[in-house]
Amino acid sequence: MTFRICSRLFLAACFSLSALIAQAQSAASCTFHTFQIPAANGVATPQGINRYGNMVGSINLLNTHSEGFIRFTNGQTNFFQAPNSTDTSIARRNDLGLNVGSFTPKGSTISDGFVTHGSKFQAVNFPPHLPTFLNGINSAGVIVGSYLGTDNHFDAIKLQNGKFTILRPPGAVDAFASAINDNGVIVGSFNSGGDSHGFVVQNGKLHILDFPNEVGFGGTTLADISNTGAIIGSVGVSPDNSAAFIFLNGVFKTITVPNARFTQVNGINAFNVIVGRAVVVDPKTKNETDTAFTAKCK
């Protein structure tokens, strides 16, 4: 597969969505379903979910290496390791069964992106051969992600019809594209030397989307967007913790799995079903359990 670099896209139409987020934040009303992904001696992190409820993600095995997984709606879980690799992570699976993610080849320190469909596997690199991370794919096969440039900074990228487009918000030091929905709307995050800011690209225009009144603990990170425009992400709330949220109908609402000290939302599908990971604390024993979950929130 041959890729060409398009000219750098400086998105000048950058403005705040403050008019949309002026309303006070509150806790979302959610229905949760928690479950375990088989990961002996490892921690499983679901990253994406498609309209059929099939999930993808990665499992960190004793901090030795990571493998990707696909969990189907019947509970069957298939594990995946990219050919000749040490670490593999699947970030998203679209409704046609195409998976995107990243892997590290054996003997290399450069991460490659990849696309798989059934038994077909294609490595993807931003030219000439720079570290590349693929994070999102929509039903039309348009892919988003990021690459690490020779200046040691990240740029967000879109890959469509074999051509790369660079997406750099004005003033960004590092930028990452997280997801793209079937309407072509892209979400991601960037920093300009300090806290992270969320961004949304729609119809060629870039908008900043930050959680209101964030107080300097890392900023806002956008993880995914559904076809209805619901956006999920996280916001820093202390030096070592963050809160999950959904942005729906112009309002931010926080998401917390019951009894969890940590809730992470990573993917949302066409029906606004959210998938993520939580650390749940038993109220009596104080024992902690790492669990995957799905949620439907309003």
pLDDT for position 64? 81
pLDDT for 135 beyond 60: yes
Take residue 169 and report the two structure tokens written for it: 């918000």
Q: Which residue has the tokens 């609402």?
A: 253
pLDDT for position 289? 93
pLDDT for 20 beyond 70: no
Total of domains in the chain? 1
pLDDT for position 297? 97
pLDDT for 154 beyond 90: yes
> Is there a cis peptide before residue 128, judged by omega within 30 degrees of 0?
yes
pLDDT for 6 beyond 60: no
**Structure confidence by residue, pLDDT tens digits, 208-221:** 999 998 878 899 99
Mean pLDDT of 262-284: 97
What contacts 119, CB < 8 A, 6 or more positions away? none
Q: Where is 29: in which H helix or E strand? A: none
pLDDT for position 110? 92
Name the band, by pLDDT with cuts 50, 70 and 90, for residue 40: low
Mean pLDDT of 196-213: 95
Give the range among 19-33, 78-92, 108-122, 125-139 with minimum mean pLDDT.
19-33
- Scanning the chain, the segments in alpha helix (DSSP H) are none
Q: Which domain holds residue 58?
A: 4-297
Q: Which of 116, 101, 1 is nearest to 48 (CA)?
A: 101
Count Cα neighbours of 241 within 13 Å in the Cβ-side half-sphere: 10
Mean pLDDT of 18-33: 68
CATH number at residue 283: 2.120.10.30
What contacts 231, CB < 8 A, 6 or more positions away? 187, 198, 200, 209, 222, 224, 225, 246, 247, 248, 268
Take residue 54 and report the two structure tokens written for it: 């099939």
pTM beyond 0.85: the answer is yes
Alpha-carbon distance of 253 to 246, in angstroms, equals 5
Mean pLDDT of the chain: 90
pLDDT for position 262? 95
pLDDT for 206 beyond 90: yes
Count Cα neighbours of 148 within 13 Å in the Cβ-side half-sphere: 9
pLDDT for position 1? 33
Alpha-carbon distance of 55 to 62, in angstroms, equals 22
What proportion of the chain, given as a percentage, has pLDDT over 70? Answer: 91
DSSP string covering 97-162, please? S-EEEEEEETT----EEEEEETTEEEEE-BTTTB-EEEEEE-TT--EEEEEE-TTS-EEEEEEETT
What contacts 3, CB < 8 A, 6 or more positions away? 124, 126, 127, 159, 162, 163, 164
CA 2 to chain centre: 26
- Residue 155 near residue 10 (C-beta atoms within 8 A): no
> For residues 188-226, b (16+ Cβ closer than 10 Å) or e, as one string?
bbbbeeebbbbbbbeeeebbbbbbeebeeebbbbbbbbb
pLDDT for 17 beyond 60: no
